[in-house]
Structure 1
Amino acid sequence: MQSFPANPDSLNEPVTLLDDQGTSWVLHRKRLDLRIVRRLVKDATTLVLWGDMGGMNPRLTTETERPMLWDRIKDEYMGPGGTWSTGRFLAHEFRAEPGRRMLYVEDHC
């Protein structure tokens, strides 16, 4: 998976991400509302990337990790609908053709 020079939230658009299969993903929405994050985490058709080191080193999450993701994100989300002052996570939506979606979660530890 391609890494970023900075977290996706601070990059100028257009932001693209090239995955290991050669698919080009384009940043569709930054700083998703927490309700949208919950829906995308629970949607099995949506890929979820976890961006360690402030979002710069993404990795694809596994099926066994997905049930725990929402519990990890919900109380420390710093985007809309979350706890801005104590938040640690921020999420963005990327899209690829035809109609594919990917949730990108930045972990600001």
Structure 2
Amino acid sequence: MQRFPMNPDSAKGPVTLLDDQGTSWVLHRKRLDLRVVRRLVKDAGTPLVWGDMGGTSPRLTSAAERSVVWERIKDAYKGPGGTSPTGRYLAHEFRAEPGRRMVYVEDHC
């Protein structure tokens, strides 16, 4: 999966992510509400990408990691609906044709 020069939250203009299968994903919504994040993370049909190193180094998570990711971010989410304005996680929605969604979680350690 391609790396970003900066995290998607800080990027201006159109943001695209090319995955390992050659699918081009376009950033659709930044800073998702935590309730939306929970729904997307729990939906096994929605790819979940973890952005290490401040959100610049993405990797697709495994099915087994999904619950671990949710447990990690739910109490330290700094986006809308989160309880921690100084938290370290943000999530964004990317889309690809036809009608596919992906959730991207930035880890700001």
What TM-score, normalized by structure 2, do the two folds share?
A: 0.97
User: Corresponding residue for 2:34?
Assistant: 34
User: Corresponding residue for 2:21?
Assistant: 21
Moved more, 24-33 or 67-76: 67-76
User: Corresponding residue for 1:107?
Assistant: 107
Extract unaligned runs of 5+ from structure 2. Answer: none
User: Corresponding residue for 1:97?
Assistant: 97
User: Corresponding residue for 1:77?
Assistant: 77
Percent of residue pairs bearing the same amino acid type = 77
Query: Structure 1: how far apart are the matches of 2:5 and 2:97?
Result: 25
**Partner SS for 1:65:** helix
Q: Which ranges of 4 or more aligned residues in structure 1 deviate by more than 3 Å?
A: none
Letter matched to residue 23 of structure 1: T
Extract unaligned runs of 5+ from structure 1. Answer: none
Query: Structure 1: how far apart are the matches of 2:43 and 2:91?
Result: 15
Q: Please list the CA deviations of residues 66-93 of structure 1 after superposition, one character each: whole Å capped at 9, or x if unmatched.
A: 1211111100000001134331100000
User: Corresponding residue for 1:57?
Assistant: 57
Give aligned pairs, total.
109
Query: Structure 2: how far apart are the matches of 1:29 and 1:85?
Result: 19
Shift of 1:105: 0.2
**Partner SS for 2:68:** helix
Query: Structure 2: how far apart are the matches of 1:13 and 1:77?
Result: 24
Query: Structure 2: how far apart are the matches of 1:6 and 1:37?
Result: 21
CA root-mean-square deviation: 0.8
